[in-house]
């Protein structure tokens, strides 16, 4: 028995509803990420005020700068989904040289002073070469990974960011001491809507992979149940690609090596 026009119309309507539902989940997930550093920054400011910290002015200035940066990131997310709704207006930002030490230090300044018992730390060599990426996307990727690691460690544990140069480029790792991922589930962690937790949309690691691959990098996960998880990103050095012939714009942040420069 053939399908009627009404059957086809109902099927298309159902597919459209499912597509919009998936988009809504992704919007909610991506908007949530900038809110986390904003919350941490506000908590840091409040704690410094309550403690009458002698460096309160510097803490306030640094954290307000971080909050404003995350607000800009929220605006960028909104622009991105607006372009998604109008593909003809889409224009992906070019890759740029990104100094990982600067990005990691900025995030650690927020996470290290946030509420909770999870300990965040990092070790990024000052002489690490810049990588081929987009700085705001690197922040988005790392916030995704730090939030996953925080959830995996529960009430206490360690989350460490570390990086080093290899023959092929630069490796950036996020390591946690959490519950780990069962071997049978590990191959699926980068799939959309897959999650080992009962809450969340399951888009975090799928977004991480999409962004890292857009920089011509790769990302892999390794884990042992009860011993934690390591997410490893293998990124290209900026100087190894033709894009490096285009110098950073004046005043670019790419050449810095620390927070507040």
What CATH number did the domain enclosing 227 receive? 3.30.565.10
| pLDDT band, very low/low/confident/very high, at 20 (cuts 50, 70, 90) | low
Please report the sign of the dihedral spanned by the C-alpha atoms of residue 26, residue 192, residue 233, residue 178.
positive
Q: Is residue 248 part of a domain?
A: no
Q: What is the CB-side half-sphere exposure of residue 203 using CA atoms within 13 A?
A: 17
Same domain (yes/no): 151, 37:
no
In which domain, by residue range, is 40 found? 5-89
Write the DSSP assignment of 117-175 as a string of letters: SEEEEEE--TTPPPEEE-HHHHHHHHHHHHHHHHHHHTTSEEEEEEEEE-SSSEEEEEE
- SS3 at position 220: strand
Same domain (yes/no): 21, 64:
yes
Same domain (yes/no): 139, 222:
yes
Region 40-48: mean pLDDT is: 92
Percent of the chain surpassing pLDDT 90: 40
Q: Give dist(CA 123, CA 105) in Å, integer.
A: 9
Overall domain count for the chain: 2
| pLDDT at site 202 | 45
| pLDDT band, very low/low/confident/very high, at 194 (cuts 50, 70, 90) | low
Domain boundary among 68, 89, 110: 89
Query: Within its chain, how far is the Cα of 27 from the centroid?
Result: 14
Angle at 161 between CA 246 and CA 80, to 5 degrees: 50
More confident residue, 74 or 9: 74
Q: Is residue 166 part of a domain?
A: yes
Domain boundary among 89, 118, 142: 89
Same domain (yes/no): 175, 55:
no
| pLDDT at site 6 | 61
Contacts of 44 (CB under 8 A, 6+ apart): 59, 63, 110, 113, 114
Q: What phi and psi, each to the nearest 5 degrees, are found at residue 147?
A: -70, -40
Q: Is residue 253 part of a domain?
A: no
Q: Give dist(CA 131, CA 105) in Å, integer.
A: 16
| pLDDT at site 80 | 55
| pLDDT at site 81 | 59
Q: Is residue 66 part of a domain?
A: yes
Q: Give dist(CA 145, CA 205) in Å, integer.
A: 8
| pLDDT at site 260 | 32
| pLDDT at site 64 | 92
| pLDDT at site 74 | 83
Region 218-239: mean pLDDT is: 93
Same domain (yes/no): 105, 59:
no
| Averaged confidence pLDDT in the chain | 78
Q: Is residue 261 part of a domain?
A: no
| pLDDT band, very low/low/confident/very high, at 156 (cuts 50, 70, 90) | confident
End-to-end CA distance of the chain: 71
| pTM listed for this prediction | 0.63
| pLDDT at site 53 | 92
């Amino acid at each position: 028995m053939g399908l009627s026009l009404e059957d086809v119309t109902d099927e298309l309507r159902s597919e459209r509803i499912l597509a919009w539902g998936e988009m809504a989940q992704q919007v909610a997930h991506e908007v949530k990420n900038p809110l986390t550093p904003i919350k941490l920054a506000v908590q840091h400011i409040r704690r410094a005020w309550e403690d009458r910290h002698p460096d309160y002015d510097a803490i306030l200035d640094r954290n307000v700068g971080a909050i404003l940066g995350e607000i800009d990131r929220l605006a960028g997310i909104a622009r991105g989904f607006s372009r998604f709704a109008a593909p003809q207006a889409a224009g992906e930002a070019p890759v740029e040289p990104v100094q990982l030490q600067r990005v990691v230090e900025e995030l650690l300044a927020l996470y290290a002073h946030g509420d909770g018992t999870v300990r965040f730390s990092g070790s990024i060599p000052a002489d690490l070469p810049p990588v081929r990426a987009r700085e705001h996307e690197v922040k988005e990727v790392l916030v995704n990974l730090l939030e996953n690691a925080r959830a995996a460690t529960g009430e206490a544990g360690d989350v460490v960011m570390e990086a080093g140069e290899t023959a092929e480029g630069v490796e950036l790792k996020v390591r946690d001491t959490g519950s780990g991922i069962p071997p049978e589930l590990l191959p699926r962690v980068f799939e959309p809507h897959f999650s080992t937790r009962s809450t969340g949309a399951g888009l975090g690691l799928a977004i991480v992979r999409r962004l890292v691959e857009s920089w011509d990098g790769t990302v892999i996960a390794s884990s042992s149940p009860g011993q934690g998880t390591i997410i490893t990103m293998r990124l290209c050095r900026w100087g190894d690609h033709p894009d490096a012939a285009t110098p950073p714009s004046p005043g670019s942040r790419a050449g810095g090596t620390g927070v507040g420069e």
